[in-house]
Amino acid sequence: MSPVDLFARGRLADLDAATLERLLDRTPRDDPGLATSVAAILADVRERGDEALMEMAQRFDGVRLEALEVPREAWGGALSSLDPSVKAALERAATNIRRFHEAQLPPAVTLEVEPGVRITRAWTPLARVGVYAPGGRAAYPSSVLMGVVPAKAAGVTEVVVCSPPGPAGTPPREVLAACAIAGADRLFSIGGAGAVAALAYGTDIVPRVDAIVGPGNRWVTEAKRQVAGELVIDSPAGPSEVLVLADAEADARLVALEMMAQAEHDPDASCVLVSTSGAFATAAESALAAELATAPRADICSQAFATSGAILVVEDTQEAIDFVNRYAPEHLSVMTQDALSDAAGVRTAGTMFVGAAASVAFGDYMTGANHVLPTAGRSRSFSGLSTLNYLRSYTLQEIDDAGAAGMADDVATLASAEGLPAHAAAAAARRAP
C-alpha cells in the first residue's frame, strides 16, 4: 500500500528548521489578502446592512434569499421530521452540555480585606449573545448545541444563531432542529465574515450582540479577530487539529481513526502523531493508508495530511511532551501506558483525551465538555468555550465610616504623590473627626 502523502515524517530531532516552524505555525498562508478582504466585508455590512448580507448570500453561498431570518415554525418542522435516533442523540448531548456548564457557574466572592472594607466580586450574564454555527462541507448541529446550551445555562437573555444557508435558503434541517432543542431565540441564514459583521454591528433585522462565540473557517476567524475590540469573542477557533501521543503498545488503527476524524473536517486541518516507537510510527502510517483508501471524504483528508499532517518519532516521553507544549494542539489524544501521568505534563492543549477509549469524537458530541477550542497554537493563551464566556464580572465595594477613616491618610498621601489633589481631598474628607 502506498505511503500517505504527509507534510512531515521521521525523527523529530532530524526535522529542518523550516519544516518544524511550519508545523508549529499553522496559520493558513495561501491567502495573503485575507485580512483586507475580511475588512472590506465588515465595512460593507456596517454601511449597507441587510442589503449587503443578501448580496453576499448570492455571491458566496449561491442562493437568493427571500428572508434572512428563519421563522420558528421552520425549526419545529425540522425537529418533527428529524430521524428519531438523531433527535435522541442531540437531546442527550444537550443534557450533558447543560449539566457540565451549569456546574461551572462561579459563585460570588466576598472578602473583608480590612475592618470596615468589604469587596464582592459578582457575576451577571450578558444580555444578548451571537452563536456562529459553521456550514459548507457539512452540517454542524453539534456546534449549535455547544454555543447555545451554555449560554442558556449562564442565563443569557437572548441567543442569536447565524449559520450559512443551503440551496433551499436556510441552514440544514439538523441545524434548525438543534436550535429548537438548545433553546435558541433567533436564527439567521447568514454565513462567513458577513455573519460576524451583522452580529457585531447590528442591522435593521439582525440585532447587535454583546459577544460572538463559535468555530468557523479562516474568514470567520479573521472576522472575529477584527471585531474583537467591539465586543467579546471566545477564542480564535479555526480549522480542526489533533495531536496523538502514542507509545509502542498503542492500537495503530485507533490512532489512524483519530487522525482521520479530524482531517475530514477541512483541508486546512492539522493531524500529527508523535510516537516513542519507530516501529509503531510505521504501523500507524500503514493503518492510516488503509483507512484513507476507503474513506468517503478521502480527498479532504488527503489535502489535510499533505498540508499539515505529520508522523514523528521521539526518543522518549519527555521529548514528546516538550513538543506537545510547543505545538499547543486543539485536541490532544494520549494513547500511552501511563496516559494520565503523561497528560499531567502538558500545559498547552485545548482539551485532552486520556487513554485509548477516549476518542476525540466523544468530546465533539456527547461528553458535555465544549468542542469550541483554540487552534493554531493559541491554547498557549486562550481557553476553550465555557460558561465564563457568557458572563461578565463586576465588583461591589462596601466601606463603612471606620473603614474610610482608616484608609483616608494613606490614600491622600498616594493621591498627592500622583499629583491628584482632588483625589486627596475626597479621601481626607473621610478622616475620623
Contacts of 420 (CB under 8 A, 6+ apart): none
Q: Tens digit of pLDDT for each residue in 336-346?
A: 999 999 999 99
Q: Tens digit of pLDDT for each residue in 162-190?
A: 999 999 999 999 999 999 999 999 999 99
C-alpha 80/C-alpha 433 separation (Å) is 73
Rounded to an integer, what is the distance from CA 95 to the centroid of its chain?
20
Domain extents in the chain? 8-17+239-380, 49-234, 400-428
The answer to whether 90 touches 141, Cβ cutoff 8 Å, is yes
pTM of the model: 0.93
C-alpha 122/C-alpha 129 separation (Å) is 20
Characterize 2-15 residue by residue with b for buried, 16 or more Cβ atoms within 10 angstroms of its Cβ, and e for exposed: eebebbbbeebeeb
pLDDT at 29 (0 to 100)? 63
| Overall size of the chain counted in residues | 433
E strands, 61-207, in order = 109-114, 117-125, 128-132, 158-163, 186-189
Q: Tens digit of pLDDT for each residue in 221-231?
A: 899 999 998 99
Q: Tens digit of pLDDT for each residue in 240-257?
A: 999 999 999 999 999 999
Domains 8-17+239-380 and 49-234 equal at CATH topology level: yes
Confidence of residue 239 (pLDDT cuts 50, 70, 90): confident
| Per annotation, catalytic residue among 330, 371, 418, 423 | 330
Reading the block at residue 291, the C-alpha cell is 483507512
Contacts of 191 (CB under 8 A, 6+ apart): 57, 60, 61, 135, 136, 162, 163, 164, 165
Percent pLDDT > 90 in the chain is 91
C-alpha 61/C-alpha 63 separation (Å) is 6
Q: Tens digit of pLDDT for each residue in 128-169?
A: 999 999 986 667 899 999 999 999 999 999 999 999 999 999
pLDDT at 216 (0 to 100)? 85
DSSP conformation class of 69: B
Q: Which CATH architecture has domain 49-234?
A: 3-Layer(aba) Sandwich (3.40)
Rounded to an integer, what is the distance from CA 151 to the centroid of its chain?
14
Among this protein's residues, is 331 annotated catalytic?
A: yes
| Per annotation, catalytic residue among 101, 265, 331, 371 | 331
Confidence of residue 117 (pLDDT cuts 50, 70, 90): very high
Confidence of residue 299 (pLDDT cuts 50, 70, 90): very high
Judged by DSSP in three states, 46 sits in helix
Q: Tens digit of pLDDT for each residue in 82-92?
A: 999 999 999 99
The answer to whether 268 touches 304, Cβ cutoff 8 Å, is yes
Q: Tens digit of pLDDT for each residue in 61-102?
A: 999 999 999 999 999 999 999 999 999 999 999 999 999 999
* Position 30 pLDDT exceeds 60: no
Among this protein's residues, is 51 annotated catalytic?
A: no
Q: Tens digit of pLDDT for each residue in 381-424?
A: 999 999 999 999 999 999 999 999 999 999 999 999 999 999 99
Average pLDDT value for residue range 199-218? 95
CATH 3.30.465.10 fits 8-17+239-380, yes or no: no
Per-chain mean pLDDT for the chain: 95
pLDDT at 285 (0 to 100)? 97
